[in-house]
Amino acid sequence: MKDYKLLYRSYGLLDAKSIQILLESFNIKSKVYQESAGVTLGLTVGGLGSANIYVKNEDFESAMKVITMMENGQLEMPDIDLEDQTNPDDELDLMDLHEQENEDEEN
C-alpha cells in the first residue's frame, strides 16, 4: 500500500463504493477498505463504520479535484423540465402513423 494514499474517509461502504464509481468515471482507480468489525456488525457511523478510499500517489491530485467538485456540488446534474421532454410512446405512435401514410400513398 506504499504506492497508495488515503484520499477520503466516508460514512460506510455504500458511500465509499459510490465515490469509487465516481472516481472511475474520471479514469481514476481506487481501493476501498472498511474495518472488518464494521463490516461484520453492519456499522455505518464512527471509526468502525467508516470506509477509507485510497488512490495511487500519482492520481492523488486529480482525485482530490474530483472530491472537491463533488463536495461543492459541481457534479450535480441540472434540473430538467419534464414538460419539455417528449414521451417515447408518442414518438413511436408518430413513426407508425408516418409508416401507415407512406403505405397508403404507395397503394
Selected residue with higher pLDDT from 88 and 63: 63
- Alpha-carbon distances, residue 49 vs 67, 94, 99 (angstroms): 20, 53, 59
Q: Residue ranges per domain, the chain? A: 4-78
Whether pLDDT at 8 is above 80: yes
Determine what percent of the chain is predicted with pLDDT higher than 90: 42
Among 1.10.10.10, 3.30.70.1530, 3.40.50.1000, 3.30.70.1140, name the CATH number for the domain at 4-78: 3.30.70.1530
- Residue 31 corresponds to which cell in the numbers above? 481501493
Please report the pLDDT score of residue 39 as a whole number: 57
- Measured in degrees and rounded to the nearest 5, phi and psi for residue 98 equal -65, -40
Choose from 43-47, 66-70, 79-83, 98-102 the range with maximum mean pLDDT. 66-70
Q: For the residues 80-107, what does the mean pLDDT come to?
A: 64
